[in-house]
């Protein structure tokens, strides 16, 4: 029997580096889990400060007391405040959804499991969680911060101290929408006072409050606007942030083979938005998509409609992951 090769210095260094990386990731996960509530408190404080500054210094400048226009501005402001608060706290306190203990993968519909590797779904993600030691539903992923598998996980957001998944993705998206709308409204109504305060002497109380609130609203409108645009694109194309990375690799592999890759979760732009924003048993009119609701989102988070079940068979191009890869080292768009 051949003697085992001695460990080289390079392999020892690599193993040490790997151990340090995993240890650092564990420390970061624990830190985010601990400071999450402080992020929520900080966000609530900033939003409350802008609201206070607007009512204290701006309302009287945009409309005189007792005038109809004043009630219009108060109505708009209260509508924005209510929707921002409602969707934010619903996102924070409503569970994103996790794999139930009685989940059975034998109930998975045809077309979800990979034809090349039965241990994976068609999108290349594994069907079993090594951390939870139990099967995963389609589009579910394990969050190392929350320490559980989250249904249709998009990402872990420190500003809401939880994961964004199947059950709170709607309110997360609507929170961004109403917050961005509120920031634009604040900038429009606070703009003249902001410019006026720039020329006032230092030490005046409203100087700092108005200037800070306007700059904060401007900064948040850009950051949230970009994030809102990104998630609008994800909803329109039936992807999550995690899935986008895999899908990007699939598209590159398909382009190399001269084929077209198709996202099987994509059932059409309108249907994709209805699946995320509508609530209850049936999709509602799109006007209700942006209003508060206590009803749960569409579906159970364990199964999702497939493109092949919605479109005619001849309308669905063959996905490259169903073809024999030209490179034997490439399996479903992932390098093994």
| Dihedral of alpha carbons 76, 79, 80, 81, sign | positive
The residues annotated with a catalytic role in the active site are 157
pLDDT attached to residue 325: 33
Question: How many CB atoms sit inside 10 A of residue 193's CB?
Answer: 22
What's the token pair of residue 164?
Answer: 């964004």
pLDDT at position 224, please?
96
Mind listing the pLDDT tens digit of every residue in the chain (336 residues)?
A: 455 555 576 777 766 776 777 567 667 777 778 888 999 999 999 999 999 999 998 998 888 888 999 999 999 999 999 999 999 999 999 999 998 888 776 666 656 766 655 666 766 677 788 888 888 888 899 998 888 999 999 999 999 999 999 999 999 999 999 999 999 999 999 988 888 877 766 655 556 788 889 999 999 999 999 999 999 999 999 999 999 988 888 888 888 888 888 888 899 999 999 999 988 765 667 788 999 988 888 888 888 888 865 443 333 333 434 433 333 223 233 322
The reported pLDDT for the residue numbered 209 is: 82
- Dihedral sign computed on CA atoms, order 39, 41, 46, 51: positive
Identify the pLDDT of residue 329.
29
Decide: pTM greater than 0.85. Answer: no
pLDDT of residue 30: 77
The Cα–Cα gap between 26 and 28 comes to: 5
Sequence length of the chain is 336
Q: Give the phi and the psi of residue 297 in degrees, each rounded to 5.
A: -70, 170
CA 214/CA 218 separation, integer angstroms: 6
Question: What's the CA gap between 154 and 20, in Å, rounded?
Answer: 27
Question: What 8-state DSSP symbol labels residue 115?
Answer: S
- 148 forms beta bridges with 143
How far out from the chain centre does Cα 121 lie? 21
DSSP assignment of 1-65 = -PPPPPPPHHHHHHHHHHHHHHHHHHHHHHHHHHHHHHHHHHHHHHHHHHHHHIIIIIHHHHS-T
Please tell me the predicted confidence (pLDDT) of residue 317.
Answer: 38
- Give the pLDDT of residue 207: 65
């Amino acid at each position: 029997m051949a003697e085992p090769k001695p460990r080289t210095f390079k392999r020892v260094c690599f193993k040490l580096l790997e151990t340090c990386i995993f240890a650092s990731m564990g420390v970061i996960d624990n830190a985010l889990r601990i400071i999450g509530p402080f992020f929520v408190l900080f966000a609530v404080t900033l939003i409350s400060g802008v609201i206070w500054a607007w009512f204290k210094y701006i309302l009287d400048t945009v409309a005189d007391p007792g005038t109809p226009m004043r009630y219009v501005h108060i109505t708009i402001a209260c509508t924005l405040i209510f929707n921002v608060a409602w969707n934010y706290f619903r996102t924070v306190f409503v569970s994103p959804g996790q794999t139930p203990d009685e989940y059975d993968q034998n109930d998975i519909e045809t077309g979800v499991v990979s034809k090349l590797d039965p241990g994976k779904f068609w999108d290349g993600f594994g069907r079993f969680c090594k951390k939870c030691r139990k099967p995963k539903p389609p589009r579910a992923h394990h969050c190392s911060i929350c320490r559980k598998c989250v249904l249709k996980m998009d990402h872990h957001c420190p500003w809401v101290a939880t994961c964004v998944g199947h059950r709170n993705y709607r309110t997360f998206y609507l929170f961004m929408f109403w917050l961005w709308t509120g920031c634009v409204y604040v900038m429009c109504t606070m703009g003249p006072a902001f410019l006026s305060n720039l020329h006032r002497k230092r030490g005046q109380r409203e100087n700092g409050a108005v200037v800070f609130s306007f700059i904060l609203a401007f900064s948040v409108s850009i950051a949230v606007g970009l994030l809102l645009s990104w998630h609008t694109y994800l909803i329109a194309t039936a992807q999550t942030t995690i899935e986008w990375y895999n899908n990007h690799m699939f598209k590159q592999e398909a382009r190399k083979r001269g084929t077209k890759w198709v996202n099987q979760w994509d059932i059409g732009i309108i249907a994709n938005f209805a699946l995320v924003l509508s609530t209850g048993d049936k999709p509602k009119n799109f006007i209700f998509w942006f209003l508060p609701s206590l009803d749960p989102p569409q579906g159970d988070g364990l199964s999702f409609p497939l493109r092949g079940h919605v479109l005619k068979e001849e309308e669905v191009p063959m996905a490259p992951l169903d073809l024999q890869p030209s490179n034997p080292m490439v399996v479903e768009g992932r390098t093994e």
